[in-house]
């Protein structure tokens, strides 16, 4: 496949990632590039499941020993080289503030759903 992401893939990445995915980076999507999580040289594929957004400087971190992977939650993890790895965060929540909020009303049911829906005036045989 082509090395460059298609227009549709870029739109999807803008919606999903919203900006650079490296922890600590606040670069918005429009200042980011498409990054192959697994190097294109390895796979020769440009699949949406293996793409993420990274600003220019962070996109070049692969040349300095950084690696990226997609975790079980679909988030991009950035793994620094061993000499820089001191337990820092692997994902960037900056562009996703909703990850810090909890909706306690998720289990509340609409009161109308719990009402008995038969007519009390109806004579039962």
- Name the token pair of 95: 């562009």
pLDDT at 119 over 70: no
Domain ranges in the chain are 7-96
pLDDT at 51: 94
Q: Rounded CA gap, 79 and 68, in Å?
A: 6
pLDDT digits (tens, 9 = 90+) for 21-72: 999 889 999 899 999 988 787 888 888 889 999 999 989 998 899 999 999 9
Report whether 78 contacts 93 (CB < 8 A). no
- Of how many residues is the chain composed? 125
Q: Rounded CA gap, 93 and 118, in Å?
A: 49
pLDDT at 114: 45
């Amino acid at each position: 496949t082509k090395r460059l992401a298609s227009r549709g893939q870029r739109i999807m990445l803008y919606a999903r990632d919203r900006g650079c995915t490296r922890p600590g980076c606040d670069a918005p999507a429009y200042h980011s590039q498409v990054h192959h999580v697994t190097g294109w040289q390895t796979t020769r594929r440009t699949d949406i499941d293996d793409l993420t957004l990274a600003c220019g400087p962070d996109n070049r971190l692969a040349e300095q020993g950084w690696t990226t992977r997609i975790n079980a939650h679909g988030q991009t993890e950035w793994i620094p080289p061993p000499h820089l790895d001191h337990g820092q965060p692997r994902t960037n929540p900056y562009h996703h503030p909703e990850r810090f909020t909890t909706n306690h009303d998720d289990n509340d049911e609409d009161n109308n759903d719990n009402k008995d829906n038969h007519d009390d005036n109806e004579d039962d045989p």
